[in-house]
Structure 1
Amino acid sequence: MPTGFILKRRQTRKGYGWIEVYGSTCVIQWRPAIMPQPRMMLVVTGDDFGYCPRRNQGIVDCFQAGGISNVSLLVNTTAAKDAADLAKRHNIPVGLHANLSEGIPVCQSVQQASTLINHHGFFHGKMGFRQALERGQLSMKQVELELSAQVRQFRELTGHLPHHMDGHQHIHVLPEVREVFAQVLSDFSIPYTRVPVEPGLHSCPWLPVHLQRFCTQVEKDALDSIPVFTRYGIRWPDVYLGLTTMGQNMSVPNLQRALSHALAADHSGTTSSSASGSNQSVVTAELMVHPGYPSHPEEGGCGEGPDDFSQSADRQHELNVLREPSLLALYSQERVQLCAFKDL
């Protein structure tokens, strides 16, 4: 046989190999496949981990099916320890879902008597917190104490500090709170947060008026938070998704639409300058989701029992959509690579 004669070639997904013959010697050669660069690094974050046992199980099932890549843990919930144990067992990347609006505070001094709780000893609620803030009734020192206590509680439960920290019901981008929130992240060297500014938000006819109004206000607060987070050196992905795809609004076509908006958007005014590192051709993004199985009445929550959203079929609907083979195929087709915040 002539020198360098290729005797056999085999192609695989990981590359291709061949056997070259040199006289009486056979040499096996291998060349790995050149994988196409992803267009997007997408953190799919399952919020409200720890809310109840059925939420925890749904999130674990979703992670194992490849539907989410990251979770955000509530630490003042009845099933927080169970959630932290599950994260360790299944190697689920976990951050902190800071909570100032639902349930009982973690900080002892804030539990006793503070501006953050009502006469029943619970936080003021999603809208009640906002109303008290607008009236100037909340102590930012107590906000700082509670946020710091939740970070320490997270460390006690998981054995490490959170790599990212966001706000339950988007409280972290509210006026005054955003400054305290940024200071706490800086104090604990937590590098990433969430900036809920979603491309395509204002062209969603399926959103009811009240939800469109709430999401628009969240977006305004988030935009106003960018200079504060920037000043503290906090990072966030180039783009955020999830306001338009919650609950029954989640579908593969709606997620495809959201991804298209994200890939087409100009991120220069809303992104952390260091979020994508030096590789600016790859868009970094976070998709906020809420998978799970419906909560049983009186089981779970943050001390007051589960809310209506948690007891509804919306959670399982999101879980089912996120596990759909057509969605996972869409990620592959669009060169979207799922990752955790620690991978950005």
Structure 2
Amino acid sequence: MPQPRMMLVVTGDDFGYCPRRNQGIVESFQAGGISNVSLLVNASAAKEAADLAKRHNIPMGLHANLSEGVPVCPSLQQASTLVNQRGFFHGKMGFRQALERGQLSMKQVELELRAQVRLFRELTGHLPHHMDGHQHVHVLPEVREVFAQVLSDLKITYTRVPVEPGLHSCPAVPEHLHTFYTEVEKDALDSIPVFTRYGIRWPDVYLGLTTMGQNMSVPNLQRALSHALAAGPSSGTSCSSASGCHPPVVTAELMVHPGYPSHPQEGGCGEGPDDFSQSADRQHELSVLRDPSLLALYSQERVQLCAFKDI
């Protein structure tokens, strides 16, 4: 077999969110559409998800959650800076606003991150192969320093740096999302020196913002892969006297959200499923990821799917 041009980790996010999400993610894995999952340990179907991963031998990391639902650390579930008066996390934008106002305790962030890793280990029997942040909270100012410290202490090697080539030239992303993604990108770029200092690694290229929900299609994924291959690896060409020079292999992560729409009141992290989870977008992603023409595209472009532990 010729050397692959790309080693691609296709990560199904939000594993454990609800039984119908779990079902779709397992089906995607079995069809060869994803190669890796990220578990929400505070979600309602996390135990089921961990059991499914064991049964089907699905490589799994931790989707650290500081923005949706209830903390897993008991001491933070009431009267902590991370929760509102109802005992829930502040939400995707609420967390960011509280952080900007200096209202969040980084010590409490650290306690919650460590508690989530402990619960992951209890559910799975092992440490996460990688760890990223639900709604990209792990790259936010201050949080990224705590996050990197926890990963370094626990020897969790890989994370996600959501900087996507081709994002700004993609016509499919609506303006309000483009604004949010641009902020995520800035925070991610600012995280790179922090993660580097702690010896944390990540793939050469990140993909997934331009291909979420209804924007996922085989042509859009082909466009994203082209941008990733053009961006190239972060290191130079690999040469040896025995084999001569080969074009270096690009490593990449594609973030996806396959599943079946959540039933109302079934799932979530304590507050029920959100609108995205109940929409047809998840099932649309599931259909595309199982499309034989996508698997043919991977073969044609010499893209080899793998897990974080393989790169």
Letter in 2 for 1:288: M
Out of 125, 145, 160, the residue aligned to residue 126 of structure 2 is 160
Letter in 1 for 2:272: G
Which whole-Å CA distance do the structure 2 matches of 1:86 and 1:260 have between them?
33
Does 2:23 match 1:57? yes
Structure 2 partner of 1:123:
89
TM-score of the superposition, structure 2-length normalised?
A: 0.96
Does 2:101 match 1:101? no
Out of 136, 141, 151, the residue aligned to residue 170 of structure 1 is 136
In the superposition, relative to structure 1, how do residues 114 and 154 fare at CA in structure 2: closer, same or farther (>3 Å)?
same
Q: How far did residue 206 of structure 1 move? A: 1.6
Does 2:186 match 1:224? no
Q: How far did residue 266 of structure 1 move? A: 4.7
Query: Could you tell which deviates more after superposition, 204-213 or 146-155?
Result: 204-213
TM alignment of 1:25-40, pairs within 5 A = 35-40=1-6
Structure 2 partner of 1:27:
none
Deviations 1:144-197 (A, max 9, x none): 000000000000000000010000000000000000000000111100000000
Deviations 1:186-227 (A, max 9, x none): 111100000000000000112111000001111110000000
Deviations 1:234-277 (A, max 9, x none): 00000000000000000000000000000001554xxxx69x9x
Q: How far did residue 112 of structure 1 move? A: 2.3
Out of 22, 41, 44, the residue aligned to residue 7 of structure 2 is 41
SS at match of 2:77: helix
TM alignment of 1:296-335, pairs within 5 A = 296-335=263-302
Does 2:218 match 1:255? no
Deviations 1:77-116 (A, max 9, x none): 1100000000000000000000000000000111122100
SS at match of 1:199: coil
Letter in 1 for 2:184: V
Which whole-Å CA distance do the structure 1 matches of 2:210 and 2:75 have between them?
38
Does the 8 A contact of 2:13 with 2:255 survive in 1? yes
Q: How far did residue 280 of structure 1 move? A: 7.2
SS at match of 1:144: helix
The number of residues matched between the two structures is: 304
**CA RMSD of superposed structures (Å):** 1.4
Out of 258, 262, 267, the residue aligned to residue 291 of structure 1 is 258
Letter in 1 for 2:114: S
Q: Which has the bigger relative contact order, CA under 8 A and spacing at least 6? A: 2
Which whole-Å CA distance do the structure 1 matches of 2:83 and 2:9 have between them?
33
Which whole-Å CA distance do the structure 2 matches of 1:280 and 1:128 have between them?
45
Which whole-Å CA distance do the structure 1 matches of 2:91 and 2:217 have between them?
29
Structure 2 partner of 1:207:
173
Which whole-Å CA distance do the structure 2 matches of 1:338 and 1:99 have between them?
26
Which whole-Å CA distance do the structure 1 matches of 2:195 and 2:142 have between them?
12
Which whole-Å CA distance do the structure 2 matches of 1:140 and 1:244 have between them?
31
Q: How far did residue 315 of structure 1 move? A: 0.1
Which whole-Å CA distance do the structure 1 matches of 2:129 and 2:290 have between them?
25
Unaligned stretches of 5+ in structure 1?
Answer: 1-34
Does 2:303 match 1:339? no
Does the 8 A contact of 2:13 with 2:38 survive in 1? yes
Deviations 1:290-344 (A, max 9, x none): 0000000000000000000000000000000000000000000000000000001
Query: Could you tell which deviates more after superposition, 50-59 or 104-113?
Result: 104-113
Unaligned stretches of 5+ in structure 2?
Answer: 241-245
Structure 2 partner of 1:14:
none
TM alignment of 1:233-252, pairs within 5 A = 233-252=199-218
The percent identity for this pair of structures is: 88
SS at match of 2:37: strand
Q: How far did residue 118 of structure 1 move? A: 0.1
Letter in 1 for 2:89: F
SS at match of 1:175: coil
